[in-house]
Amino acid sequence: MSDLETSAKPTMPLQGQLARVTEMLRRHHLVEDLTHRQTGAHQDVVENLIHRQHLVELQREIDELHPADVARILEALPPEDRLSVWHLVKADRDGEILLEVSDAVRESLLADMDAPEILAAAEQLDADELADLAEDLPDDVVDQLMQRLDAPEREQLRAAMSWEDDQVGAIMDFEMVTIREDVTLEVVLRYLRRLKELPEQTDKLFVVNHDHVLTGVLPLEWLLVNDPAREVADVMAADANTFHPGEDVFETAQAFERYDLVSAPVVDAEGKLIGRLTIDSMVDVIREEGDAEALSRAGLREDEDIFASVWRSLRNRWTWLAINLVTAFVASRVIGLFEGSIEKLVALAALMPIVAGIGGNSGNQTITMIVRALALGQVSPEGAKRLLRKEVAVALLNGLIWGGVIGLVAWALYGNPALGLVMTVAMTLNLLLAAMMGVAIPMTLTYFDRDPAMGASVMITAITDSGGFFIFLGLASIFLI
């Protein structure tokens, strides 16, 4: 049981860890406040001692935490507390923690470090990890880094940096254990014992020939359950899942999900083994994919450090606000066309946002469905036609049912049956417009190789707003005025 109790720390919920660190920081600040207020020389020395004691305690706490946990705590602290804690982190853990924090927080930490500190942190990292960090570093620091690496590592770093962020080449690592196929498992077992340590997330060894071409993989499991006298070639899987460095990471992550992979080899066009992918980086990809969708849906350009300055937040958000302003202005001009009608029948002004709003909501439902289906590769050209028919049918029914209800309410409210009828017809037409555009927008974006989710929500809302106002006010002008 005592063994189990020691396990409490690593699985301690983040909130608990954060609360402890915040409490320690608070006490530390209290002491600082005291020191500032009472300036007697003797007093100073005592307070300084208490102050230092708190810091030592906090440092001990931080040293015991997993780098990923320290990263989460740094992300959750306001800038000045964040830097206080960051200064307490031992230099040899800086690198690992920099890899774990979000892009925005990494920038704020790097901004606080000078070149020698950054170089010291970078020295703890592998070439593939350096590649992740390099884009945030000043050019001269990257140059110095390059010079400190040995030739193969430098080559790996260059290779990793040459791929786009969304390509397999950018997230592969180089920590592969390779074996030959013409040896026995016994030889492999002895070889591994000499290695003393395997790279993290090693669930299989890679079998290569003399030209370093991958000929198969040997899962550790098979190495363990088979007779050690057997040959590798005899036991290994020749038809492993392999990936190429230019492949899309999101599709690769889907393959990891589908085939429940833990690691997989990356080969070049000639089949030579050049790297390795692991499930932990794929999990990051899957998480980022979801996050990016949520962010772009809300019109945020990028991940935001929640304690970012007001200025940075403004910059991050203004693009979409500006686009939204333009679409809102267009909708406003559409209403402007019918000002004469509104003057005569002011009920139109009160009812028009309903037509526009329901259209937007329904269009967003359709677009969410289609974007998901496209992302999962579920839409064939055959399927597209069916989908459009289905969405149109759903829209038609929704329009008649809900449009009918609202039409009755409008009739009751304004005592004008014709107004109710126009309301029902306008809602039905706007829902049909929403359904058709909800299918067409993501399909078109996909056809032109664009991300179907990006901005789709803003576009559909713009169309259903302007379209809804135009349809409703137009019908009203023809039949009611």
Q: Which of residues 206-265 bind its own copies (CB under 8 A)?
A: 213-216, 220-221, 223-227, 238-243, 251, 254-260, 262
445 interacts with its own copies by CB under 8 A: no
Using left for φ > 0, alpha for ψ between -120 and 50, and beta otherwise, residue 294 falls in: alpha
Assigned token pair, 51 = 């102050």
Q: How far is the CB of 354 from its own copies (least distance, A)?
A: 4
Q: Output the six-digit token pair for 281.
A: 């980086």
- Give yes or no for residue 28 binding its own copies (CB under 8 A): no
Separation between Cα atoms, residue 64 and residue 87, nearest integer Å: 16
Part in contact with its own copies (CB under 8 A); list of ranges 51-59, 106-114, 159-167, 188-196: 188-196
Binding map of its own copies across residues 297-336, x = CB under 8 A, - = no contact: xxxx---x-xxx-x--xx--xx-xxx-xx-xxx-xxx-xx
Q: Which is nearer to its own copies, 146 or 394 (CB)?
A: 394
Contact between 268 and its own copies (CB under 8 A)? no
Of the candidate residues 156, 362, 424, 464, the single one contacting its own copies (CB under 8 A):
362
Alpha-carbon span 169 to 266, nearest angstrom: 8
For residues 458 and 353, is the Cβ–Cβ distance under 8 A?
no
Measured from the CB atom, is 110 or 273 closer to its own copies?
Answer: 273
CA-to-CA dists, residue 150 to 144, 147, 157, 170, angstroms: 12, 8, 11, 20
Element (H, E) at 225: helix 220-225
Residue among 202, 428, 464, 477 that touches its own copies (CB under 8 A): 202
Closest distance to its own copies from the beta carbon of 331 (Å): 6
For residue 59, give Cα distances in angstroms to 71, 83, 105, 205: 15, 13, 20, 39
Member of 35, 124, 184, 361 binding its own copies (CB under 8 A):
361
Q: In what order do the strands lie in the sheet with 178-179?
A: 178-179, 204-208, 214-219
* Intra-chain end-to-end CA distance of the chain, in Å: 83
The answer to the question of residue 91 lying near its own copies (CB under 8 A) is no
Binding-residue pattern over the window 460 to 479 for its own copies, x denoting contact by CB under 8 A: -----x---x----------
Quick note: the x/- pattern for its own copies over 105-134, rule CB under 8 A, is ------------------------------
Nearest approach in angstroms of CB 154 to its own copies is 27
Contact call for residue 449 and its own copies (CB under 8 A): no
Q: Cα separation of 326 and 314, whole Å?
A: 18
Piece of the chain touching its own copies by CB under 8 A; list 42-50, 107-115, 147-155, 372-380: 372-380
Give yes or no for residue 3 binding its own copies (CB under 8 A).
Answer: yes
Q: Does the CA dihedral 347-350-354-356 come out positive or negative?
A: positive
Distance CA 473, CA 202 (A): 65
By the rule CB under 8 A, 158 interacts with its own copies = no
| Residues 43 to 82 in contact with its own copies, rule: CB under 8 A | 66, 68-69, 72, 75-78
**30 touching its own copies, by CB under 8 A:** no
Residue 96 binds to its own copies (criterion: CB under 8 A): no
Cα–Cα distance list, 86 to 53, 75, 122, 331 (Å): 17, 11, 16, 49
